[in-house]
Structure 1
Amino acid sequence: MSIKDSINLPSGIHFTVPIPKEAEHILSKDAIDFLAILHRTFDKTRLDLLENRKKVQDELDKGKPLDFLPETKNIRDSPSWSCAPPAPGLEDRRVEITGPTDRKMVVNALNSGAKTFMADFEDSNSPTWSNMVLGQVNLYDANRRQIDFETNGKQYKLSEKPAVLIVRPRGWHLPEPRLLIDGKPISGSLFDFGLYFFNNASELIKRGFGPYFYLPKMEHHLEARLWNDVFNLSISHLSLKQGCIRATVLIETLPAAFQMEEILYELREHSSGLNCGRWDYIFSFIKKQRASKQCVFPDRTDVTMTVPFMNAYVQLLIQTCHKRKVAAMGGMSAQIPIKNDAEANEKAMAKVRADKLREVTAGHDGTWVAHPALVKIALDIFNENMKGPNQYFIRREDVTVTAKQIADPSVPGKITEKGVRDNVSAALSYCAAWISGNGCVPINYLMEDAATAEIARVQLWQWTKYSSKTDSGKLIDASYLQSIFSEESSKVSQLPGIDPSNVKIASEYMNKQIKSEFPSDFLTSDLLIHLEGVGTKGTGSTSKSNL
């Protein structure tokens, strides 16, 4: 039976791969009709905004610095507006756990003791067709308390009071190439948001909550306006109460740091705050200022939250959010427990405690962890230092952050051979795992996702581009890196669950990247061709029907 026959698709809708039988209720005809409305209404604006990103990058490459926008000064200066009050379940967000949407992860995260769980279709997820649609099935079941299951003799059962669910769709730049509408791929953002909203919004509202989202990778307040327009149309389409959606925006690009208030303003009816997406922010800081030799950083372990540009970003975010009465969320602790080495584990957990103490005393209203074992550690710190549900009352009016401080590239530290090797290993391991369908990878007791792999990628590029040297005097060039890539490829190929052929793809990709004039925008965009139904692992030609 063809895809068209099985779900009677309307004209102009085309799948390149079959819909899994267990996901047919998710991708119903009505849901697909809704996705088509979103695509046909908003895709041109989305593409125009992506073109604007290129124009901004071109200006930066020519030496024009980023600054606060003069045309929106009235928004920043106005004391008369604030964002919507916290929605049910979002009043207290002191610890949030994040992770991909596989069934086991969803149950464990919802039961972890965290206040909320950010179910991630983005950086900790490899967008295979199975991951995207079965992830939606898992969230559909979780919202209806129907997600209990048993595997290998172990039962997974949802607790009586699970964490509040927040969903992160893909960023505006990523397509969903397995669904074509009028011959063009739908936006990954609209696909992820649209399916979740259409299938769950009414159910969530009936249960006393609402459809809640994290919005990634934005670079301009007009991208937030686009999201707000999507929200308003979607709410009207399902005849729901205006303002039922809440969205937290990750400030994880350098341009967005100059437009925090404007982003909140555009989403003010639907806003629930901003988040310090620290790892992507470091990646963006390097990438956006790629033409400047002054922005060559030392080992990524030296780029901490206390270096000048990161501290300025944090202070401004807290001040901005509390001025507009929404949550200022802290960043991710990527550490995971180190088994069988109590001393090393205690050192790692001490870093987590110090990080969370820094966040709560700075005025953050909550924080992120990547592993259930870290929930209690973070909770204890916040419970001791934040007695109420949030810290909106800490206005941080003592803070004045300038454009120069936001873009300050001074980071003390060295480039070491270990730092180079760690970047090579992380990039190869992550890219190979991502191609294999795993977007959340434990490497050296850190939970690596696309953001940390991106830092590794652009650092290797900039060290090569600007002829950097290690602290022992070795010139970092393509020849030097080639031997390290070869050695680390052999090691990564031996890791459990890693396909050596995917390591080869990752190595070839990284070697091209370090030799390019500028690094490409996103490794996830570059490697998408290797996923089923997209490129080299099958274009879906055997399952296409002429719709």
Structure 2
Amino acid sequence: MELSPPPSGLEAEYAALFTPASLHFLHELISIFDPQVDQILQQRVSRKAHLDLSGDLPNFLGSTAHIRNDPTWRVLPVPPRLQKRHVDIGDMAPCDTQRFIRALQSPAQGIQVDFDDGNCPTFFNQVKGIHNVIKAVNKQLPDVPHISQAPVLMLRPRAWNMVEHNMMVEGKEAPGPLFDFGLLMFHCGKMLFEHKCGPFFYLSKVESFMEARLWNKIFVWTQQKLGLPLGSIKATVLIENVLASFEMEEILYELREHSAGLNCGIWDYSASFVNKFGHRPAFLLPDRSKYVNIGKRFLRSYMDLLVQTCHRRGALATGGMAALLLPQDVHADSYSRVLASVKRLKLLEIHAGVDGFMVYDLNLIEPMQELFQIHTEGDNQLHQLRGDVRVTPEDLLSMPSGGVTLFGLRYNIAVGVPLLTLGFSGKGHFFYKGQVEDSATAEISRSQVWQWIRHQTRLEDDSRVVSRRLVTDITGELMMELGVHCRSDWSKRRLHTAADMFLEVVLKKHFPEFITSYLNQDHTFLSFQNLLQEEVLETDQQRAKL
């Protein structure tokens, strides 16, 4: 095993994480399961190739019909700490120590401790974030309650597609999710279990029941290795892919001893349609700012099916994240408008039967908890079996009608480019037009721009074709607007590099599957991370002199 040197300023944290015992554990975990991670990634490629060559569309699997048709099986009941999951804080990158502390002090039921979409996975951020989790579990962060009293930690490792460049195991870079999961379990698993607070996880971007089966194998091996009872680990699977929506019941079945339920969120899920079928004209996804919302048939069917599937199997169903931010002035008209908008959207999810959802803004926690108290009874809605739901493949694959607007095109570019810029700064999200944007919204943004160019879609405004030239011109205009706020040559350089990379991604002949893995493997992006570490070190040295 080879490990990169510690990130500047994190020498003590690095030494605490990478002990001889933890490195031995990681080596075993990764050596055993890395070949199987490679296999499922190859299966994804094979499945996509089959869909492309055959023109077929996904359907409920005939080979697993016996699982869906068997009414008797259930997931194991979740522990008491997970029975009430009304409001979790989402996109919580634990490397942001102060925000992490505020979340631990909050009245939320849980925290999505995010090493994935809401986090930029630099080595610095992963080491600092994992170490902060260890400190929280051991009550070593200032002014935070004991883990038995704090919001429950829902740990979200990176998805299968991500690698950890700073660790080599048997001559190969380590899978990002195994690196994150292994360190978190080794250092925190027993303590969380002993205090009946975990270990609990979110699993990102699972596409099939075979991938759920692999996670289950990892859970079983880890529990045996660490001396934890079978079923100690509980995981909520994020159904972020259209293919997974046809296998939700099978995913629960594979994880039935370790399941904490399923989660639905609209942006990664919507982006997956472009990922899998974006070259087909029938799957043109219209302007998301105008025509894509949870009320549309394909998204409403997905949520209804998820709730029905979970509840008939005794599992919890959780909704997406409210990305809107409340204005600071509680007396402003805008405050009431934003709060009303969030309540309206989240009521749709509550009435669909979800047992909880996420918010980004900590000030939304209590208003959303009140919403659950007013409109539901008890800790969850497991009694809502949704026998009225009859979802067909046509329902799940029905694209909403609508076109493309100039506003929507500009909005997608305005989200995509700054996300790349912030990635060069080691940040995983930013705020735009009163809401938080992260890699999930970057995915849908760049996906739509790629697809609109691919199909030469015409704007509703003036019938112009969405072309290379139009997208390049709009990106240039945006650079002029953003460049005014750049205070250094470094800032200008990273802005223009981000714009070039965004154009590269949306103009490629073949659709890059994940923006995160595309950037994670890109030389320019990685070289900027090295420059960032040098800048941090230089700044620290200057401060020391002062």
TM-score, scaled relative to structure 1: 0.92
Give the aligned partner of residue 499 of structure 1: 491
Matches within 5 A, 1:305-320: 305-320=294-309
Q: C-alpha separation between the residues in 1 aligned to 2:5 and 2:209? A: 34
Query: Does residue 517 in structure 1 map to residue 509 in structure 2?
Result: yes
Alignment of 1:131-210 (within 5 A): 131-148=125-142, 157-158=144-145, 161-210=149-198
Alignment partners' CA distance in 2, 1:141 and 1:115: 20
How far does residue 146 in structure 1 lie from its aligned partner after superposition? 1.3
| Residues 1:219 and 2:210 are matched in the alignment | no
Are 1:415 and 2:404 counterparts? yes
User: Any residues of structure 2 matched to 1:226-305 within 5 Å, and which?
Assistant: 226-301=214-289, 302-305=291-294
Q: Deviations over 1:267-318 (max 9, x none)?
A: 0000010000221101112221112112212221221001110011001000
Which amino acid counterpart does residue 307 of structure 1 have in structure 2? K
- Give secondary structure in 1 for the equivalent of 2:422: helix
1:531–1:21: structure 2 CA closer, same or farther, 3 Å change rule? farther
Is the CA contact (8 Å cut-off) linking 2:287 and 2:402 kept in structure 1? yes
Q: Quick check: 2:13–2:127 contact (8 Å CA) kept in 1?
A: no
Q: Does 1:78 align with 2:70?
A: yes
What one-letter code is carried by the residue in structure 2 that aligns with 1:72?
T
What SS does the aligned partner of 1:24 have?
A: helix
SS of 2:178's equivalent in the other structure is helix
SS in 1 for 2:216: helix
Residue 390 of structure 2 aligns with which residue?
Answer: 400
Match of 1:106 among 100, 104, 108: 100
> 3-state DSSP class of the match of 1:114?
coil
Question: Greater CA deviation, 22-31 or 430-439?
Answer: 22-31
Which residue pairs with 1:352 in the alignment? 342
Contact 1:286 1:295 (C-alpha < 8 Å) held by counterparts: yes
2: CA distance, partners of 1:532 / 1:158: 42
**Partner Cα separation in structure 2 for residue 207 and residue 135 of structure 1:** 21
Structure with the higher helix share, 1 or 2: 2
* Contact in 1 for aligned 2:260/2:316 (Cα 8 Å): yes
Q: Is the Cα contact below 8 Å between 1:115 and 1:163 reproduced in 2?
A: yes
Give the counterpart of 1:46 among 23, 37, 61.
37
When structure 1 is superposed on structure 2, of 135-144 and 285-294 the one drifting more is 285-294
What one-letter code is carried by the residue in structure 2 that aligns with 1:484?
I
2:544 is matched with none
Q: Deviations over 1:200-226 (max 9, x none)?
A: 011112222220000000111111111
1:500, distance to aligned residue in structure 2 (A): 2.2
Deviation of 1:427 (Å): 0.3
Q: Could you say which residue in structure 2 is the equivalent of 1:29?
A: 20
What displacement does 1:20 show? 2.7
1:327 equivalent in structure 2: 316
Conserved 8 A contact 2:279-2:454: no
The 8 Å contact of residues 528 and 534 in structure 1, kept in 2 or not, is answered as yes
2:476 maps to 1:486: yes
Looking at structure 2, the residues matched to 397 and 247 of structure 1 have their Cα atoms a distance apart, in angstroms, of 25
Mapped partners of 2:363, 2:222: distance in 1: 37
Mapped pair 1:449 → 2:438? yes
Q: Which moved more, 1:494-503 or 1:476-485?
A: 494-503
Cα separation, 2, equivalents of 1:289 and 1:529:
24
Cα offset, 1:415, TM superposition = 1.4
- Aligned partner of residue 83 in structure 2, secondary structure: coil
Does residue 528 in structure 1 map to residue 520 in structure 2? yes
Contact 2:424 2:525 in 1 (8 A): no
Change over 3 Å in CA distance of 1:72–1:321 after alignment to 2: same
Give how far 1:61 is off: 2.3
Residues 17 and 337 of structure 1, relative CA distance in 2, 3 Å threshold? same
1:151-197 superposed Cα distances (whole Å, 9 cap, x missing partner): xxxxx544883211110000011001111111111111001111001
8 Å Cα contact 2:486/2:492 also seen in 1: no
Q: Which residue, out of 114, 119, 125, partners 2:113? A: 119
- Which letter does structure 2 place at the counterpart of 1:121? F
Q: Verify the 8 A CA contact 1:532 1:538 in the aligned structure 2.
A: no
Q: What secondary structure sits across from 2:236 in the alignment?
A: strand
Q: Which amino acid aligns with 2:515?
A: L
CA distance in 1, matches of 2:360, 2:402: 27
Secondary structure of 1:214's counterpart equals: strand
Taking structure 2 as the reference length, what is the TM-score of the superposition?
0.92
Ranges of 4+ aligned residues in structure 1 off by more than 3 Å: 16-19, 156-160, 493-498, 529-540
| Equivalent residue in structure 2 for 1:58, among 21, 45, 49 | 49
The CA deviation at 1:531 is 8.6
Check conservation: 1:31, 1:195, Cα contact below 8 A. Answer: yes
CA distance in 2, matches of 1:405, 1:529: 36
Q: What secondary structure sits across from 2:509 in the alignment?
A: coil
Letter paired with 2:363: A
Query: 1:371 — aligned with what?
Result: 361
Unaligned ranges ≥5, structure 2:
535-546
Classify the secondary structure of the residue corresponding to 1:89.
helix
Q: Distance in 1 between matches of 2:405 and 2:524?
A: 38
What is the SS of the residue equivalent to 2:89?
strand
Q: Which protein, 1 or 2, shows the higher relative CO under an 8 Å CA cutoff with sep ≥ 6?
A: 1
8 Å contact 1:96–1:367 — kept in the other structure? yes
Q: Are residues 264 and 503 of structure 1, via their aligned partners in 2, closer, same or farther at CA, if it must alter by over 3 Å? A: same
Offset of residue 64 of structure 1: 1.2
Give the SS at the match of 2:82: coil
* Structure 1 residue 529 displacement after superposition: 4.5
Counterparts in 2 of 1:449-468, with a 5 A limit? Answer: 449-468=438-457
> What is the rounded CA distance, in whole Å, between the counterparts of 1:187 and 1:24 in structure 2?
21
Q: Which residue, 424, 429, 437 being the options, matches 2:426?
A: 437
Given that 1:435 and 1:531 are in contact with CA atoms closer than 8 Å, whether structure 2 keeps it comes out as no
Q: 1:537 to 1:449 in 2, by over 3 A?
A: closer
**2 CA distance for matches of 1:169 and 1:69?**
28
Between the aligned partners of 2:529 and 2:317, the Cα distance in structure 1 is 42
* Counterpart for residue 380 of structure 1: 370
Counterpart Cα distance in 1 of 2:191 and 2:401: 51
Compute the RMSD of aligned alpha carbons: 2.1
User: What's the CA shift string for 1:475-515, capped at 9, x where partnerless?
Assistant: 11001111100011222334479922222122111212222
Q: 1:271 to 1:299 in 2, by over 3 A?
A: same
